[in-house]
Structure 1
Amino acid sequence: MVETQKSSTALQQITSNDVSTICSKCGEKILNVMTADENKVYHPHCFNCSDCGKTLAGGFFYKSKNSKSDESTITSRNSLAEPLRFCEICYKKVAPKCARCHNIIEASSIVWEDKKFHETCFTCWGVDKNGVQCQKPMKDEPVYPLNDKWYCKICFDKLDTGVSAAARDILSQKCRKCYKEFAPGSLVSEYKGDYYHPTCFICSQCNTSIASKSFYHQSKSDDQQSEAKFLCENCHIKNAQECAECKNKIVNGEAIGFEGKQYHRSCFTCQNCHNEIGTAHFFKTKDGKYICQQCSLQQQHDSPTK
């Protein structure tokens, strides 16, 4: 699909052959009749439909806001620098269409689930007991999808879907990653108040699903708008730092950092009493070992005085 606007152009007669007028498409001089669009001039036979090649000079045409390189489905005769232009017939083939009424969308549209709709078509599908359709406009409203249709909250609550009130609240949410709605009956993963499709709740490194599995929260940002990042257990182990004492990966538990090195808490111990030092005061010996404050004081007390 391409976004277009309707335009028109007129033929103009060049009165003098001495006028140096160059066609913006073929680069050759225009000697007799030309047509213009957006401060550019063309031979009439160069100003043509991007799909069928029919000349558009002297009539109405539809011009795309997309560049030719953005629309791979069009077999265009225009250069890459030229915008896409279409005659009336070809425009009907490429114009965006409403996913509900299937008519061409000329003005503004609503995008939902990667589909475009007329604003007047994106309304609640609910029907009351008398057969009267709700047709509430759903723009900027919570959408409750069911079987390729969508409903406002009032109409959805009246449906016999077997969906609990808590599940209905989830249905009004959007996936934290893809920002799409949840379909009734689908599985949902939740983490700290955010909801995800299981296919979206994945390891940020290997892209495998971590739904119903152990994982590690990788994000360090306080920005609520930033995307949370997670690591599966295998990737967490691969990325884990190595303990400077035992040389094993520091996977679980708090790590102790000192002089640019990381240690398991259980490995960062006093060389005398072998108790964990943790974050308490300690001293480094000449041979690079560590002793706790209590052992250091004991050594000073036991050392002979000269």
Structure 2
Amino acid sequence: MTERYDCHYCKESLFGKKYVLREDNPYCVKCYESLYSNTCEECKKPIGCNSRDLSYKDRHWHEDCFHCFQCKRSLVDKPFSTKDEQLLCTECYSNEYSSKCHECKKTIMPGSRKMEHKGNSWHETCFTCQRCQQPIGTKSFIPKDNHNYCVPCYEKQFAMQCVHCKKPITTGGVTYHDQPWHKDCFLCTGCKQQLSGQRFTSRDDFAYCLNCFCNLYAKKCASCTSPISGLGGSKYISFEERQWHNDCFNCKKCSVSLVGRGFLTDRDDILCPECGKDI
């Protein structure tokens, strides 16, 4: 007696009929399509056993339904993009959504290299130096007046030259006596330390840090012998070609401050009237 070979679901005989195996179980075509066929995203009908099932991100289409949402051309075996869950051919997607080149105004196709700067996009070959017209690529550049320049061209055309080293100043220069300097070139005449960002003064048109200027040119306090800079509005006392810091102008004996008060002298010493009444 011949063994029966029935549909796993409806139990009807499959002898002489088409069937589909799923997990080693046979199903008649009708049952298989009813139980397991995917629904087409486009026409909402089941994708039967005799149809090609095209899938993308857990969504399914009949082969004839797998086309561009806008131009309706078939996307079978062709590159495509998606926008808001709609399928689009590369051309329609580019025309509708891709960036436009800031220079030539043409579409920058998906997958092609593009350059971006401050919200604008360029084809790689369109992103060129305004002066030499060479592609900038990934090299450094400097924008000016809505144009982009490679660094060598910018320096030749626009950059000021440092009065010290004669080389272009591209960033963060210093102006002294109406002349441009690199920060690294603007140094103290005495100690050669960089002056940018700190207080300094000058003598005979040469710049000095405060320490060097005081050590070289400032008068010395008659009491502590340290330099009196007089810079920045600091006060000092001067008497008979001698100078004192305000804080050093004190009675030699009792150390009371004599600033704004009468005083007496005893050779090189200064005394308050009380201590000097016996001299």
Whether TM exceeds 0.5 here: the answer is no
Larger radius of gyration: 2
TM range (shorter): 0.3 to 0.5
Q: Which of the pair is proportionally richer in strand? A: 2
Q: With the length of structure 1 as denominator, give the TM-score of the two structures.
A: 0.37
Q: Which has the higher contact order (CA 8 A, sep 6+)?
A: 1
